[in-house]
């Protein structure tokens, strides 16, 4: 009887240990699928752009306009509201995740969220990106506090344009401090995540350096 009970306890323990591993594996798989889809779409966009340029050189203006108007249903679905709109990469943290539009729990489950009422990536103003401080699905912004002044944050938009930002400062603010979303005339990037068990917010401020 004791051997049976011991076997039951061991089996239950192994099952409990496997649950977080399953979630982490599943989250990484979904994140990688999103990034792969995004990168494939960007490459396809570039190919289509090249083809359109060649077509414009060979044909008249009307034919070129017809070519430019074509867009696949897959592209439209991929970049619809809530889907991938870009990629963020921070070499100093070995971090690379898709950027999705919106920052509710559904969006943040598999990527970094763009706060909808802030500037778009690469645009003049303050683009705010939010991420979990780690979750069962991935690390996300768990190690954001390891960033240092001068570190580079690379962001790609859905057109394949790459923007480089430099970390200039960081601070901890209250959870309802909307000043982090303030817009100005500079091209800025703000990274936001939880701090102190979710009671505060860790904010990193970055300024635009250049595009690739």
pLDDT tens per residue, range 140-191:
999 999 999 999 999 999 889 999 999 999 999 999 999 999 999 999 999 9
Note the pTM of the prediction, 2 decimals.
Answer: 0.67
Q: At which residue do the structure tokens 């505060």 appear?
A: 200
- Report helix angle 2-58 to 61-69, nearest 10: 170
Count of other CB atoms within 10 angstroms of residue 133? 19
pLDDT at 108: 86
CA dihedral 34, 109, 190, 153 (to 10 degrees): -40
- Structural domains of the chain in order of their starting residue, each with its CATH number: 2-38+81-211 (2.40.260.10)
pLDDT tens per residue, range 67-119:
333 334 444 444 454 478 999 999 999 999 999 999 888 788 878 999 999 99
Integer CA distances (angstroms), 34 to 15, 62, 99, in order: 29, 36, 9
CA distance 176 to 104: 15
CA distance 145 to 19: 28
- Residue pair 206/157 in contact by the 8 Å Cβ criterion: no
């Amino acid at each position: 009887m004791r051997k049976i009970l011991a076997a039951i306890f061991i089996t239950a323990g192994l099952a409990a240990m496997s649950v977080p591993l399953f979630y982490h594996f599943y989250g990484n798989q979904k994140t990688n699928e999103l990034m792969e889809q995004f990168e494939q779409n960007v490459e396809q966009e570039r190919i289509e752009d090249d083809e359109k340029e060649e077509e414009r050189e060979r044909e008249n203006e009307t034919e070129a306009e017809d070519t430019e108007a074509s867009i696949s249903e897959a592209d439209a679905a991929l970049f619809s509201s809530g889907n991938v709109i870009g990629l963020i990469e921070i070499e100093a943290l070995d971090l690379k995740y898709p950027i999705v539009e919106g920052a509710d729990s559904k969006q943040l489950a598999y990527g970094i969220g763009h706060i909808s009422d802030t500037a778009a990536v690469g645009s003049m103003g303050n683009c705010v990106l939010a991420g979990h401080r780690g979750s069962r699905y991935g690390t996300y912004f768990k190690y954001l506090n390891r960033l240092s002044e001068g570190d580079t944050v690379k962001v790609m938009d859905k057109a394949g344009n790459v923007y480089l930002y430099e970390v200039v400062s960081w601070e901890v603010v209250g959870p309802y401090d909307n000043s982090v979303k303030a817009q100005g005339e500079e091209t800025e990037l703000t990274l936001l995540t939880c701090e102190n068990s979710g009671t505060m917010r860790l904010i990193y401020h970055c300024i635009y350096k250049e595009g690739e």
